[in-house]
Amino acid sequence: MKALIFPNSNESSAYAKRYGYHDWIISRFLQFIPDLGYLLEKLDEEPQKYIRVNTLKISISELKASLQEKGFELADTLLPEVFAIKKATFPIGATIEYLLGYYYIQDISSCFAVEALDLKENHSVLDMAASPGGKTTLIAQKMKNTGCVVALESSFKRIRSISFNLARCGITNACVYNMDGQHAVKLNMKFDRVLLDAPCSCEGVIGKDKTRKTSHKPEDIEFCGTNQLRLIESALKVVKHDGLLIYSTCSFAPEENELIVNSMLEKFDVEIEPLQYGSEGLIRFGQYRFHPSLRNSRRLYPHIHNTTGFYIAKLRVR
């Protein structure tokens, strides 16, 4: 499916010129992003960094005290195990506590996606695009190292980073397969929970990588959308009856988010359940009209939620 392109306006051209974006990106953003000026301003700032406490190895209060003793300033967030870093006296990826696996550097938006899985001990979980392992390790942590987490990664090179993170965090209930999520049925297994954090055009992380303001092309959205459709269909085939699929991306593009989930509503017996954090999902975009339950899905915006741009949908399989 092609990315919708909208005509430029004086407003879009002014924003594009002021913040250094291609016109087509801004014209699209104006259709669905609230307070766009604030978003563009926010994306030019240093993004908020978060750490997630690995409660398999240390308690939340112990880690907080340990980092504060070293001069770190941490702020509480909506999730008890996640802190926003307000001041760091050392690089946060090089402290003894990091090396000991006491925390993981992870945006809170990813933690919301795992939170949405409603994990219980002894669940079987599939993480369909696992590298570098942030969500995999959080899933394992939430299950207290019980049950099993199957992580898929299509690139053999990237498995090394998952391996490093699983070991550092002391994970005993996870395994990794060098497999494209599209072939998940070959595992010959059904799962209580499936997480598909789909490879995407990464519009939501422009704040971390400013080159995307001009390197991003409409074809990226089209390419990713096609791939995401294949992945989500594959994911739905391996969820147990009454199980959950969490679909997420770090893109703002409705063609990679609501449109993908909407097409699954037409094809599978699934329902979209409400989520706690974020703004409502879209029910219209350009000529597209989506099922009203898409409102239950969630959009996270850097200027509103202080996260990377993110989308999450929770699908219950009937």
Partner 1 sequence: LYRRPTREEITIVKRAFNKWGIFSFFRDKPLLINERKTDKQKEIYLLSSDLEQLIIDREPCIAGLKIGELKKKFIPSLQGADLIARTSNKFPYILVNEMSEQRVVYGKNILGESIIEKSEMLDENQLVILLNKKRETIGIGRTRVSSRYLLQHGKATVTTLVDIGSYLRNE
Q: What is the rounded distance in angstroms from the CA atom of residue 191 to the CA atom of residue 150?
A: 9
Taking the complex as a whole, the smallest distance from the CB of residue 96 to partner 1 amounts, in Å, to 7
Residues with Cβ < 8 Å from 34, sequence gap 6 or more? 279, 301, 304
Taking the least distance from each CB to partner 1, the nearer of 150 and 221 is: 150
- Sequence length of the chain is 318
Taking the least distance from each CB to partner 1, the nearer of 77 and 161 is: 161
Taking the least distance from each CB to partner 1, the nearer of 88 and 148 is: 148
Q: Residue 99 CB: number of other CB atoms within 10 A?
A: 10
Taking the complex as a whole, the smallest distance from the CB of residue 94 to partner 1 amounts, in Å, to 7
> Residue 178 — φ and ψ, nearest 5°?
-85, 85
**Rg of the chain over CA atoms, in angstroms?**
19
Taking the complex as a whole, the smallest distance from the CB of residue 202 to partner 1 amounts, in Å, to 22
Q: What is the rounded distance in angstroms from the CA atom of residue 315 to the CA atom of residue 246?
A: 6
CA distances 305 to 151, 159, 208, 254, 298, Å, are 28, 31, 16, 19, 11
Taking the least distance from each CB to partner 1, the nearer of 17 and 120 is: 120
> Residue 312 — φ and ψ, nearest 5°?
-135, 135
Taking the complex as a whole, the smallest distance from the CB of residue 58 to partner 1 amounts, in Å, to 9
List, by residue number, the catalytic residues: 250
Q: Which of 122, 111, 116 is nearest to 80 (CA)?
A: 111
- Residue 177 near residue 151 (C-beta atoms within 8 A): yes
- β-partners of residue 289 are 284
Taking the least distance from each CB to partner 1, the nearer of 149 and 229 is: 149
Instruction: Kindly list the residues in this chain that would bind partner 1 in the complex (CB under 8 A).
Output: 93-94, 96, 99-100, 122, 124, 145-148, 150, 156, 159, 161-164, 166-168, 170-178, 187-189
Taking the complex as a whole, the smallest distance from the CB of residue 189 to partner 1 amounts, in Å, to 7
- Residue 256 near residue 248 (C-beta atoms within 8 A): no
**Encoded tokens for 190:** 């059904």
